[in-house]
């Protein structure tokens, strides 16, 4: 019966059937190949078509539990053919991170952040990394501390309303605006007023949307296909959000180019302000006197605008939440900060090394709430918040790759010192001014969307700290 109906088919229908057959065959072969590559690693059973994951990312705690069940590594299936090895053990991590290989998981980011440092590979990555590393030199980072403190103070002033009423409020959105303000001021010398403008910031909204959609592409089986995603309503939303994100970064580049072209000599302009990351992008040259192309500059601005604010927004939001959950650690940090700042309303480079207990709390929060959650970690005594595990004598007992929130090896985070400085500044300024209180009505649900976010927001309450009412010496 079946053979007869195929014979009666028109040519286009038969061709279509053949194509579908080939696609299915290809799927089965690719899947088999990948399954065979990982057969040494037992893992949780998954659905043939949809794999292990839920579309909305609410399975983060389940994945963490699998990490305990399969302590070295286990295969995680995102669809019929997207199968990745999730690595937990520090010795495995060491081997993987030693290579400068590209990260296939970032392919879906290319139409947004281009082939910037995060996405590029091979010689291109190597050249860019070498050209951009001076942008994170100590001399460049030093004046940023004061700018970070200024951005933090704008946010903390806005919070006075919440302190007066002790009403619960959502942190992540506010902290994102502050970190965007900060990266714009530091890396691009751009005063955006994004914290004081009314309404939601279109760039921040677009970044949330883009992270959600890229995450969905990873997780939902038909979406890895460029054509299917392009034709879908989600693909339409993605292109719209990309346009908004690009117009934001294009304006930053355009204004700087205009400013540079108005100056007879660039030196005159640079003498008037700190050398920033954008100056380095625009002026850098390799041994052959070759600078970066316009396209490459755009990609790096898109990469650093995103990586430079959303990761730190996550890190800061979760440490502030942890401080609210652990008042005893919060108080110890506050006493240390008071001693270090001696009542000053700002923070300087020299103050960063005066808050070791606060730094240990930040590291503990980064361990438990990894802002870039694609990177696995393993650590004994998992879920207890214990900053003392970062005392130098305890750190010395662990393998070096047991704690790598900024990754390690050649492709480690180029912005890690920038990030740690910013988190320290914001935590210190916040705890100096406010006492953070847990809101028992709101428990955040962690969700990995490139960056670690919370599905239902991160809520806390605050009141004025008595310390802030003491007379200021500065």
Residues that bind ligand HEM (CB under 6 A): 103, 117-118, 129, 303-304, 307-308, 311-312, 315, 371-372, 374-375, 405-407, 411, 413-415, 418-419
User: Could you tell me if 128 and 281 are in contact, meaning their C-beta atoms sit under 8 angstroms apart?
Assistant: no
Residue closer to ligand HEM by CB (options 102, 150) is 102
Q: Which residue is nearest to ligand HEM (CB)?
A: 415
C-beta of 436: minimal distance to ligand HEM in Å?
A: 19
C-beta of 305: minimal distance to ligand HEM in Å?
A: 9
Q: Which residues are CB-neighbours of 373 under 8 A, at least 6 positions away?
A: 60, 448, 451, 452
Residue closer to ligand HEM by CB (options 23, 100) is 100
CA 413 – CA 309 distance, rounded (Å): 14
Torsion-angle region of residue 255: left (phi > 0), alpha (psi -120 to 50) or beta? alpha
CA-wise closest residue to 144 among 303, 349, 291: 349
Sheet strands side by side (includes 434-438):
169-170, 459-464, 434-438
C-beta of 103: minimal distance to ligand HEM in Å?
A: 4
C-beta of 118: minimal distance to ligand HEM in Å?
A: 4
CA 195 – CA 180 distance, rounded (Å): 9
Secondary element (H or E) of residue 337: helix 327-341
Residue closer to ligand HEM by CB (options 115, 351) is 115
C-beta of 32: minimal distance to ligand HEM in Å?
A: 27
Residue closer to ligand HEM by CB (options 327, 409) is 409
How many Cβ atoms from other residues are within 10 Å of residue 225's Cβ? 14
> Residue ranges for the binding site for heme?
413
User: Could you tell me if 427 and 319 are in contact, meaning their C-beta atoms sit under 8 angstroms apart?
Assistant: yes
Question: Torsion over CA of 68, 423, 337 and 143, rounded to 10 degrees?
Answer: 150
Residue closer to ligand HEM by CB (options 314, 465) is 314
CA 105 – CA 112 distance, rounded (Å): 14
CA 323 – CA 427 distance, rounded (Å): 9
CA 159 – CA 157 distance, rounded (Å): 5
Residue closer to ligand HEM by CB (options 292, 435) is 292
DSSP state, residue 351: G
How many Cβ atoms from other residues are within 10 Å of residue 91's Cβ? 12
Residue closer to ligand HEM by CB (options 413, 460) is 413
C-beta of 354: minimal distance to ligand HEM in Å?
A: 21
> Residue ranges for the binding site?
413
Residue closer to ligand HEM by CB (options 206, 414) is 414
Would you list the DSSP string of 175-241?
Answer: HHHHHHHHHHHHHH-----TTTSSS--HHHHHHHHHHHHHHHHHHSTTTTSHHHHHHSHHHHHHHHH
């Amino acid at each position: 019966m079946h053979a007869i109906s195929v014979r009666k088919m028109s040519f286009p229908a038969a061709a279509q059937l053949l194509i579908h057959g080939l696609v299915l065959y290809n799927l089965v072969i690719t899947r088999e190949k990948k399954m065979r590559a990982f057969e040494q690693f037992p893992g949780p059973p998954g659905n043939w078509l949809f794999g292990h994951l839920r579309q909305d990312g609410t399975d983060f705690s389940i994945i963490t539990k699998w990490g305990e069940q399969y302590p070295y590594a286990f295969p995680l299936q995102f669809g019929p053919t997207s199968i990745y090895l999730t690595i937990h053990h520090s010795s495995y991590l060491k081997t993987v991170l030693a290579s400068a290989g590209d990260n296939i998981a970032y392919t879906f980011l290319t139409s947004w952040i281009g082939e910037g440092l995060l996405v590029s590979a091979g010689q291109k990555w190597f050249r860019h990394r070498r050209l951009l590393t001076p942008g994170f030199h100590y001399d460049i980072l030093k004046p940023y501390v004061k700018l970070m403190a200024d951005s933090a103070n704008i946010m903390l002033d806005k919070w006075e309303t919440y302190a007066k009423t002790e009403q619960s409020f959502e942190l992540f959105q506010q902290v994102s605006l502050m970190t965007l303000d900060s990266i714009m001021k530091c890396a691009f010398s751009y005063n955006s007023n994004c914290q004081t403008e009314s309404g939601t910031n279109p760039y921040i909204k677009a970044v949330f949307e883009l992270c959600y959609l890229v995450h969905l592409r990873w997780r939902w089986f038909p979406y890895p296909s460029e054509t299917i995603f392009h034709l879908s309503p989600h693909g339409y939303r993605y292109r719209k959000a990309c346009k908004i994100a690009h117009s934001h970064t294009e304006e930053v580049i355009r204004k700087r180019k205009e400013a540079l072209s108005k100056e007879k000599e660039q030196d005159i302009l640079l003498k008037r302000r700190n050398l920033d990351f954008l100056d380095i992008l625009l002026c850098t040259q390799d041994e052959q006197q070759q600078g970066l192309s316009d396209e490459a500059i755009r990609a790096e601005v898109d990469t650093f605008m995103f990586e430079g604010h959303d990761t730190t927004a996550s890190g800061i939001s979760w440490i502030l939440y942890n401080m609210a959950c652990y008042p005893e650690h919060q108080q110890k940090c506050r006493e240390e900060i008071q001693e270090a700042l001696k009542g000053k309303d700002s923070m300087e480079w020299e103050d960063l090394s005066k808050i070791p207990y606060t730094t240990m709390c930040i590291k503990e929060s980064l361990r438990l709430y990894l802002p870039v959650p694609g990177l696995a970690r393993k650590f004994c005594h998992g879920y207890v918040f214990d900053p003392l595990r970062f005392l130098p004598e305890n750190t010395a007992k662990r393998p070096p790759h047991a704690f790598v929130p900024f990754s390690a090896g050649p492709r480690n985070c180029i912005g890690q010192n920038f990030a740690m400085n910013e988190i320290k500044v914001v935590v210190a300024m916040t705890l100096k001014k406010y006492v953070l209180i847990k809101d028992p009505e709101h428990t955040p649900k962690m969700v990995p969307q490139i960056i670690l976010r919370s599905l239902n927001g991160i809520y806390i309450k605050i009141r004025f700290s008595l310390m802030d009412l003491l007379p200021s010496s500065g």
